[in-house]
Amino acid sequence: MKTVIQRVSKASVTIEGEKVASIEKGLLILLGVVNEDTQEDIKWLSNKIGNLRVFSDENGVMNRSLKDIDGNAIVVSQFTLHASTKKGNRPSYIKAAKPDIAIPVYENFVKQLEIDLGKKVQTGQFGADMKVELLNDGPVTIMIDTKNKE
């Protein structure tokens, strides 16, 4: 799995004019899935994100996690994170998992993150044309790939 994680003051997801998810202070998590992703990857990534110290403490140092601040999260599926741009100008998405594999991984990741955070995690809708609005705080943007754990 690949993720782009953005620390936000607020974020929302709108589908066909209807706001389906909205948070205040927390993380917007864009998630891309490949065929090889496993339950181990899901657990590792969820734990990593929940404990990632990207929020400021009383001294202005990024020393607090989403758990520490009781922040919220939105997870949005984004197969384009696995785009290959090696050849030509049209990205190839051949590495991205097809929906029959990606949807269960995506849903299991959301469930695991809810367990790790101890609260409901909001989401977009898999495969939908979504409008994602955010106010990036910092800006702080982190990329994580479960294939590069070491």
Residues with active-site annotation: 78-80
- Report the candidate in 39, 56, 36, 57 with the shortest Cα–Cα distance to residue 47: 39
Angle formed at CA 41 by CA 62 and CA 96, multiple of 5 degrees: 105
What residue type is 2 in one-letter code? K
d(CA 84, CA 81): 9
- Torsion over CA: 52, 55, 59, 61 (sign): positive
Is the distance from CB of 73 to CB of 124 less than 8 angstroms?
A: no
